[in-house]
């Protein structure tokens, strides 16, 4: 799929913000749909395909965190939180609810476009639709089986529901067993953008979420190991 034809759902209760983001992204060649609440966003995602969701936190009724949790039950489309709430605890909660990235208002147009392009590019690489069928490539790692062409992961024969970011992290570590990945190296490889201050926390939360899904005992991980002060690896 051509990245410039990607479809983006923008969820914000501020009409002015919606208009600004819509004009900006359509100027970049994207197709956009705008809604002002999480319930409508959830319904749209059931009916249509999107390549990215830009999601505010302070929404009427169901807030952005709750909306993201509900969206994750039906889709792995990347979610970019765009919020005036900029505390580390807010960002951690955003990632914990299934968000892929977090940008604080006010934001620069160039930064927003950069994040949007990176998220859509990763989504197409790791979870995009395939135009042609390809033979299955499987990786086995302990009780996990990774089907690369379908971007599917199975644990003891049961399919796991991973986000595209979680899948990308797992695939990278498993394909490079015994290699130590620092948080900065992992971030730049998976997010496909330069490392920045605060990205350590982003990586840590995604690793924690991934462990909750793949580890027999997430409190004592054996698949993704932490080398304190240095990074992560799979053995």
Predicted pLDDT of residue 199: 86
Number of structural domains (the chain) is 2
Predicted pLDDT of residue 32: 94
Predicted pLDDT of residue 3: 43
d(CA 128, CA 167): 12
Identify whether residues 189 and 119 lie together within a single domain.
no
Instruction: Indicate if the pLDDT at residue 133 is higher than 50.
Output: no
Closest CA to 10 of 32, 43, 30: 32
If one compares 128 and 57, the residue with the highest pLDDT of the two is 57
Give 102's strand partners.
Answer: 81
Closest CA to 53 of 202, 61, 69, 172: 69
**CATH code of the domain containing 142:** 1.10.10.10
Identify whether residues 74 and 177 lie together within a single domain.
no
In eight-state DSSP terms, residue 128 is: P
Q: What does the block give as tokens for 52?
A: 């990215």
Per-residue pLDDT reduced to its tens digit, 33-43: 999 999 999 99
Identify whether residues 110 and 189 lie together within a single domain.
no
Q: Give the residue-averaged pLDDT of 90-96.
A: 86
Q: Give the residue-averaged pLDDT of 119-131.
A: 68
Instruction: Indicate if the pLDDT at residue 11 is higher than 50.
Output: yes
Instruction: Indicate if the pLDDT at residue 13 is higher than 60.
Output: yes
d(CA 142, CA 140): 6
Predicted pLDDT of residue 2: 44
Domain range for 150:
138-234
Identify whether residues 156 and 77 lie together within a single domain.
no
**CATH code of the domain containing 26:** 3.40.50.2300
Q: What does the block give as tokens for 72?
A: 């994750």
In a domain? residue 39 = yes
Q: What's the gap between Cα 215 and its chain centre?
A: 20
Mean of all residue pLDDT scores within the chain = 87
Identify whether residues 154 and 121 lie together within a single domain.
no
Identify whether residues 188 and 113 lie together within a single domain.
no
Closest CA to 34 of 98, 24, 112: 24
219: three-class secondary structure by DSSP: coil
Q: Give the residue-averaged pLDDT of 224-235.
A: 90
Predicted pLDDT of residue 1: 41
Tell me the pLDDT band of 167, cut-offs 50, 70 and 90: very high
In a domain? residue 107 = yes
Closest CA to 105 of 67, 56, 61, 60: 56
Instruction: Indicate if the pLDDT at residue 151 is higher than 90.
Output: no
Closest CA to 140 of 151, 149, 153, 127: 153
Identify whether residues 114 and 164 lie together within a single domain.
no
Do residues 123 and 131 touch, judged by C-beta distance below 8 A?
Answer: no
Identify whether residues 142 and 225 lie together within a single domain.
yes
**Of the residues 127, 158, 173, the one at which a domain ends:** 127
Instruction: Indicate if the pLDDT at residue 127 is higher than 70.
Output: no
In a domain? residue 74 = yes
Q: Give the residue-averaged pLDDT of 28-51.
A: 91
Identify whether residues 62 and 142 lie together within a single domain.
no
**Of the residues 127, 161, 184, the one at which a domain ends:** 127
In a domain? residue 132 = no
% pLDDT > 90, the chain:
49
**Of the residues 69, 99, 127, the one at which a domain ends:** 127
């Amino acid at each position: 799929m051509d990245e410039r034809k990607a479809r983006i759902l923008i969820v914000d209760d501020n009409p002015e913000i919606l208009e600004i983001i819509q004009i900006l992204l359509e100027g970049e060649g994207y197709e956009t749909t705008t809604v002002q609440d999480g319930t409508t966003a959830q319904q749209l995602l059931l009916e249509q395909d999107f390549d990215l969701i830009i999601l505010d936190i302070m929404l009427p009724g169901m807030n952005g965190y709750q909306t993201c949790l509900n969206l994750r039950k039906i889709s792995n489309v990347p979610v970019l939180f765009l919020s005036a709430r900029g505390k580390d605890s807010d960002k951690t909660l955003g990632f914990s609810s299934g968000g892929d990235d977090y940008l604080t208002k006010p934001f620069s147009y160039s930064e927003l476009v950069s994040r949007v392009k990176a998220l859509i590019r990763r989504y197409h690489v790791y979870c995009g639709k395939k135009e042609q069928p390809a033979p299955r490539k499987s990786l086995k790692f302990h009780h996990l089986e990774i089907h690369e062409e379908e971007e599917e992961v199975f644990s003891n024969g049961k399919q796991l529901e991973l986000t595209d970011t979680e899948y990308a992290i797992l695939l990278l570590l498993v394909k490079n067993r015994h290699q130590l990945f620092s948080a900065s190296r992992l971030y730049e490889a998976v997010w496909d953008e330069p490392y920045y201050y605060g990205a350590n926390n982003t990586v840590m939360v995604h690793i924690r979420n991934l462990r909750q899904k793949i580890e027999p005992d997430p409190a004592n991980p054996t698949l993704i190991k932490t080398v304190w002060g240095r990074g992560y690896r799979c053995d």
